[in-house]
Structure 1
Amino acid sequence: MSSKDEKNLSRVLDKIAAMDEPRRSVMQQVHDIIMAAAPDLKPRIWYGMPAYAASASAPALVTLRNDERLNLALTEKVALRPAGGTDGTLMPAAWYFESIDKDAEQRIAAIVRSAVA
């Protein structure tokens, strides 16, 4: 890992550490899921949010937000695909959560892997 990557990772971890509990623990868990699902992604701060990109200079693909609700989002830089079915041409790009169970963990990992595919 380059020193720039280490510095960016440190900034992301500091941002998460500054959150109040129980959100801090949940966001740390989501960060860990993202890094396990796509270990080549580079964490960094993007528009004030923890984010993950293919490289330190590439646009972010995945972001985490700590607003009224916690949020995992894919950016417009991801090759989004229409959902089909009853959702037709709508493209899922954001998911809100308050806690993470085993099913949510697996779904987040799948979402992140689809973003880097």
Structure 2
Amino acid sequence: MPRHRLSKGREMSSKDEKNLGQVVDKIAGMDEPQRGLMQRVHDVIMDAAPGLKPRIWYGMPAYARSAGSPALLTLRNDERLNLSVTEKAPLRPAGGPDGTLMPAAWYFETIDADTEKRVAEIVRSVLD
């Protein structure tokens, strides 16, 4: 399969590049301010885990280990913006006051440096 170089020096197959284009187009079709927020979260995900492959999963931007594997993370644009970890990712009990509950979704309305840092931590945690 031919390889294509995207910006930021990433190598991607033509299938991965097509899938990335679909995710970028999906985000570009959103209204502001959601579009800007989703684009920023997409960038944080790609920077935190350059090996994840973006693609559309059930109509949402999603990220998986490969084009043929299940999505580990999704971005959802409903009444609120949402970053979710799918059941295909390793989930661990939260501990502390949350006991055996396993955090799997986070809503956001804005993106600041602390939120970007936490999103990057969540993204890296699905790769463990």
- Pairwise same-fold verdict (TM > 0.5): yes
TM range (shorter): over 0.9
Task: Choose which of 89, 92, 113 in structure 1 pairs with 2:100.
Answer: 89
The aligned counterpart of 2:51 is: 40
Unmatched 5+ stretches in structure 2? 1-11
Structure-1-length-normalised TM-score = 0.99
Aligned length: 117
Unmatched 5+ stretches in structure 1? none
Stretches of 4+ moved more than 4 A in 1?
Answer: none
Query: Can you list the C-alpha shifts for 1:26-59, whole angstroms capped at 9, x where unaligned?
Result: 0000000000000000000000000000000000
Instruction: Look up the equivalent residue of 1:75 and give its one-letter code.
Output: T
Identity, % of aligned positions: 75
Instruction: Look up the equivalent residue of 2:103 and give its one-letter code.
Output: P
Q: How many angstroms does 1:116 deviate by?
A: 1.1
Using CA pairs under 8 Å that are at least 6 residues apart, name the structure with larger relative contact order, 1 or 2.
Answer: 1
Structure 1 segment 23-102 matched on structure 2, within 5 A? 23-102=34-113
Q: SS where residue 126 of structure 2 aligns?
A: helix
The alignment status of 1:14 with 2:22, answered yes or no, reads no
Instruction: Look up the equivalent residue of 1:70 and give its one-letter code.
Output: L
* 1: CA distance, partners of 2:65 / 2:127: 8
